Amino acid sequence: MGRKVWRCLSLLLLISLFCAAGSWAVEIKGRSSTQFLWFNDYYNGRQIELAQYLRIAVTNIDKDGKLAIYGYGRAGAILEKGEEETGDRGTGRLYYLYGVYRDIGDKLDIKVGRQFNNLSAESSLIDGARFDLKNVGPVGFTFLGGRNVVFGLDGEIGHTGDFATGMALYLQGFPNTDLDISWFRKWDENDVARDMLGASFKQYLFQNVKLYGNARYDVVGEVFAELLGGAKFFPTANLSFTGEYYQSYPTFDTTSLYSVFAVNRYQEALVRADYNISEKIAVNAGYTRQDFGDADGKGNVYIVGFTFRPFATLTIDIDYDRSTGYGGDLNGGTLEVNFDATPALRLAAGLAYDVYQRDAMTGEQTARNYWLGAKYKLTKSITASLRVEESVNKTYDSNMQGRFVFDYDF
Question: 105-263 has which fold?
Answer: Porin (2.40.160)
Equal fold, 105-263 vs 268-392 = yes
Q: What is the pLDDT of residue 259?
A: 85
| Domain edges within the chain | 1-98, 105-263, 268-392
pLDDT in tens, 306-362: 999 999 999 999 999 999 998 889 999 999 999 999 999 999 999 999 999 887 677
Q: Does domain 268-392 have CATH number 2.40.160.40?
A: yes
DSSP letter (8 states) at residue 206: T
DSSP letter (8 states) at residue 149: P
DSSP string, 62-95: STTS-EEEEEEEEEEEEEE--TT--S---EEEEE
What tens-digit pLDDT sequence spans the chain (410 residues)? 445 544 555 555 555 545 544 545 789 999 999 999 999 887 778 889 999 999 999 999 888 889 999 999 999 988 876 655 555 566 789 999 999 999 999 999 999 999 999 999 999 999 999 999 999 889 999 999 999 999 887 778 888 899 999 999 999 989 899 999 999 999 999 999 999 999 999 999 998 999 999 999 999 989 999 999 999 999 999 999 999 999 999 999 998 888 888 899 999 999 999 999 999 999 999 999 999 988 888 999 999 999 999 999 999 999 999 999 988 899 999 999 999 999 999 999 999 999 998 876 778 889 999 999 999 999 999 999 999 999 998 888 889 999 999 999 99
SS3 49: strand
State how far the Cα of 59 lies from the Cα of 268, in Å rounded to an integer: 45
Q: What is the pLDDT of residue 339?
A: 98
Please answer whether residues 318 and 303 qualify as being in contact, where contact means their C-beta atoms are separated by less than 8 angstroms: no
Q: Output phi, psi for 258, to 5 deg.
A: -70, -15
Cα 299 to its chain centre, rounded Å, is: 26
Please answer whether residues 224 and 215 qualify as being in contact, where contact means their C-beta atoms are separated by less than 8 angstroms: yes
DSSP letter (8 states) at residue 405: E
- Burial track 363-375 (b if 16+ CB lie within 10 A, e otherwise): eeeebebebebbb
